[in-house]
Each structure stands twice: as C-alpha cells, then as structure tokens.
Amino acid sequence: AKNLQEQKIYVVQSPEGLAKIDALTPCRYGAPTVLLVAFDSENVYQYPGGGRDSGIEDAAIVATHMMLAACNAGVDSCWLNRFDPAEAAKAFALPENEQVLMLLDLGYAAPGAGPLPPHSQRKPLAETVRYL
C-alpha cells in the first residue's frame, strides 16, 4: 500500500541456510533455493480504524508475483506455511521489526511429482462469490 515496499526477500541457497530451512519445515522437498519472504512491520500502511495494516498483503502480493515470474521462466515453486515464522526469524537473525510471512521453494519438480489431490478441488463459485 502507498508504495511503501515493506517487503524483505532473503535468498537461501547455502548448505548452512538450507539446513536451517530443513530444521524449520519438512516441506523443502530438495529445492536448491528458498526465498524467505518477510516485511518491515515499522514501514506499513495503517488502514483506517486501526484494525490492520498492509504488511501481510503487500508481502503476499510480492510473493505471488515471484511465483508467477518463476513459472514464466520454467521454474517450479511451492508456497510454504508449515513452519513457525518466529522461529524462522530467529534462525536467520532477522531484525525484530521484520515479520516472516512465508517460505517459497524454487526449483524443478521431480518427474512424476505433482500437487496433492486437494489442490485441484474447487468449491462452486456460488459458495465463494456473492453479488451485492
């Protein structure tokens, strides 16, 4: 929001860094690169009413665009949220004002690999879209 660009992207490729990822989640699946996507909680837009800010959504927009760019380049990706964000921030010694949103595996899928069955299941639009 407001072009604050609060996202922080950390590229993890070193054996030491990938070992930290493996300690945080079982979901690296051998990816040679993992992006740790965070945002600066002190540089976010506060929405009217004070109930929320733009940090999560802005970082999610950036992550989604990175996934689309990876796909366009022929690189597979996997959005990971099966980990403790606070433990990830601690493992990589991030500043206290940075909150981890997600991990993004980047690499090439093994032959025959594919998404789990629930990934292709869709609710009818009538359950998710309402006209007002």
Determine the pLDDT at residue 82. Answer: 97
Let me know: does 70 contact 63? Beta carbons within 8 Å: no
Burial of residue 96 (CB within 10 Å: 0-12, 13-18, 19+) is: exposed
All residue ranges of the chain with pLDDT < 50 are: none
Determine the pLDDT at residue 7. Answer: 97
Q: Which domains does the chain have, with CATH numbers?
A: 7-128 (3.40.109.10)
Dump pLDDT digits (tens) for 23-52.
999 999 999 999 999 999 999 999 999 889
Determine the pLDDT at residue 51. Answer: 87
According to the 3-state scheme, what is the secondary structure of the chain? CCCCCCEEEEEECCHHHHHHHHHHCCCCCCCCEEEEEEEECCCCCECCCCCCECHHHHHHHHHHHHHHHHHHCCCEEEEECCCCHHHHHHHCCCCCCEEEEEEEEEECCCCCCCCCHHHHCCCCHHHHCCCC
